[in-house]
Amino acid sequence: MKSSAKTATDVAQVQSSRRKFLGGAAAGTAAAVGMGFPAIVSAQTPTSLRFQSTWPTVDIFHEFALDFAKKINDMTGGELKIEVLPAGAVVPAFALLDAVSKGTLDGGHGVLGYNYGKQNALALYSSGPAFGMDANMVLAWHKYGGGQEMLEELYKDIGGNVVSFLYGPMPTQPFGWFKKPVTKAEDLKGLKFRTNGLAIDLFTAMGAAVNALPGGEIVPALDRGLLDGAEFNNATSDRLLGFPDVSKVCMLQSFHQSSETFEIIFNKDKYAALPDKMKAIIANGVEAASADMSWKAVDRYSQDYIKLQKEDGVKFYKTPDAILQQQLVVWDEIVTKKGETNPMFKKIEQSQREFASRALSWDMDTNNNRRMAYNHYFGRNAKKA
């Protein structure tokens, strides 16, 4: 049997070791706190931003807005949370800019053409032929050709308290949905027609009676006879919004909106308060969302283009070249008049012209004729695989 003296010694050694361990643990905890280990420090409260889109929930455009928000939320690991509401949840679609500027909303997703009434030069970023550039080229001009700096100047001029990001190149939009095919420009005379942005001026000059309506109100207006024709954007949006329920004729190709992009805006004060890391994630997240949106559009729009024909009985017609040519002529007259009274309008248009001159020359000389390849593989005389 062991003596009691040895047992007491053992106890004393154990107590000494425990004191050393606890002391070391306390020191380690202090060091961990100093290093900011997440397991030790309480989690930081996430920053929440409330956004609204200018699109109804059913539209793929609202889905694009949700896609952008998810990318940002995922990349920040929950430190920033953007919640996106549909059009009308807080303010009407056309009131988004004012709501974000005032801080009623922290941000939003829409298009610049909806703000045309505040400064007509804004519509140059979304309406018209853009000298033949597609939307991706317009985004190239915006980032590398001075467009972004001029847009900031425009917003400053109208008191827009926002930070703007353009993204999401859109394909050429249809000429419109009609009761019967439009075969000549005279068919537009007196036609009650929906469009937006500077396209309002274009179609008005071509004889139409134009009414600018947000996306969710167009089909009901067509159904009630308040409109004779209308355009919105693409095969998927038009199908989801119900265009084939009120019209079976869609004219493809037009210069009225052949290069439109989306816009994401943040309240300037809310954005300025974000850490630099968050701002960098947003800037890069916008570009990631832009690429993803363009890829998703190719997939979804092409599917719905087929469904509109096979399932909904829609007939697509190419807009006659004579109408397209007249659009260009009328557009030149419109922008000349706008430039005479609005120096910023003239400055932006000239900047686009200079960029388009070299970008289009390079593009047309460099890229293949897709129609030739399509006819070879899928045309009437193509060999079956």
Positions at the binding site: 173, 194, 231-232, 257
Give which of 223, 245, 219 is closest to 232, Cα–Cα: 219
Cα separation, 125 vs 85, whole angstroms: 25
Would you give the end-to-end CA distance of the chain in angstroms?
A: 94
Cα separation, 35 vs 38, whole angstroms: 9
Tokens of 355: 């960029």
Tokens of 203: 């179609």
Residue 298: half-sphere exposure toward Cβ, Cα within 13 Å:
6
Binding site for substrate, by residue number, is 173, 194, 231, 257
Cα separation, 322 vs 337, whole angstroms: 23
Binding site for Na(+), by residue number, is 232
Give which of 334, 337, 344, 331 is closest to 153, Cα–Cα: 344
Strand 249-252 to strand 176-178: parallel, antiparallel, or no bridges (unpaired)?
antiparallel
